[in-house]
Amino acid sequence: MGTGKTTVGRAVARRIGFKCVDSDHEIERGAAKTVAQIFAADGEAAFRKLEWRFVEEGHAPERLVVACGGGIVVQPGMLELLSSKGVVICLHASIETILARTRRHGATRPLLDVEDPDARARALYAEREAIYRAAGTVILTDSRPLSEIAAHVIRVWKRDSAEFARRRAQGGG
């Protein structure tokens, strides 16, 4: 949440000639509702099921950069599922950066639609940080130009995609 996943994903996809999709946008398109509407009408658990379905079958299997929502990897088994689909790179930012970014777009973030969104963001950060750090290569986005972050992601992708291809060829996902 607030680390720049969609912006960086689009920049990376442009540079390597892939398509980019945002999991939240694709879920919204499929459900014909915004994420906020899904949370309000059906609850967070229903949204998490839609995320799971998206990762399993909701996108092309190759030549695609997928920007996933910040809560996606906290679901049990999701990190393994994501890792079986491709290279996982986690964008990270300090809580101060996340707070500044989410304040600008708070209305579209249902988990922050609470009386004290900063406190909620801090709690989510604390709950998720260890999971994010275990999710794959972690790239900091604080105070870095987009071009530098995208170049870093591409270097990591090139390095890790060879290992992913080897595992896939051996039948290991």
- Least confident window among 19-33, 79-93, 107-121: 107-121
pLDDT of residue 114: 84
Q: Is the pLDDT of residue 107 over 70?
A: no
Give DSSP secondary structure letters for 14-74: HHHT-EEEEHHHHHHHHHTS-HHHHHHHH-HHHHHHHHHHHHHHSS-SSSEEEE--TTGGG
17-56 confidence digits (pLDDT tens): 999 999 999 999 999 999 999 999 999 999 999 999 999 9
Specify whether the CB–CB gap between 125 and 98 falls below 8 A.
yes
* Structure-model confidence comparison of residues 96 and 109, the more confident one: 96
Q: How many helices (H) and strands (E) does the chain have?
A: 8, 4
Average pLDDT over residues 61-88: 90
pLDDT of residue 172: 65
Give the C-alpha separation, 112 to 82, whole Å.
Answer: 25
Give residue for tokens 């190759």: 62
Q: Is the pLDDT of residue 106 over 80?
A: no
Give the up-direction half-sphere exposure of residue 145: CA atoms within 13 A in the CB hemisphere: 3
* Structure-model confidence comparison of residues 17 and 107, the more confident one: 17
Query: For the whole model, what pTM was predicted?
Result: 0.88
**Number of C-beta neighbours around residue 76 at 10 A:** 6
**What are residue 22's DSSP bridge partners?**
67
Name all domains of the chain by residue range, CATH numbers in brackets.
5-169 (3.40.50.300)
Average pLDDT over residues 117-124: 89
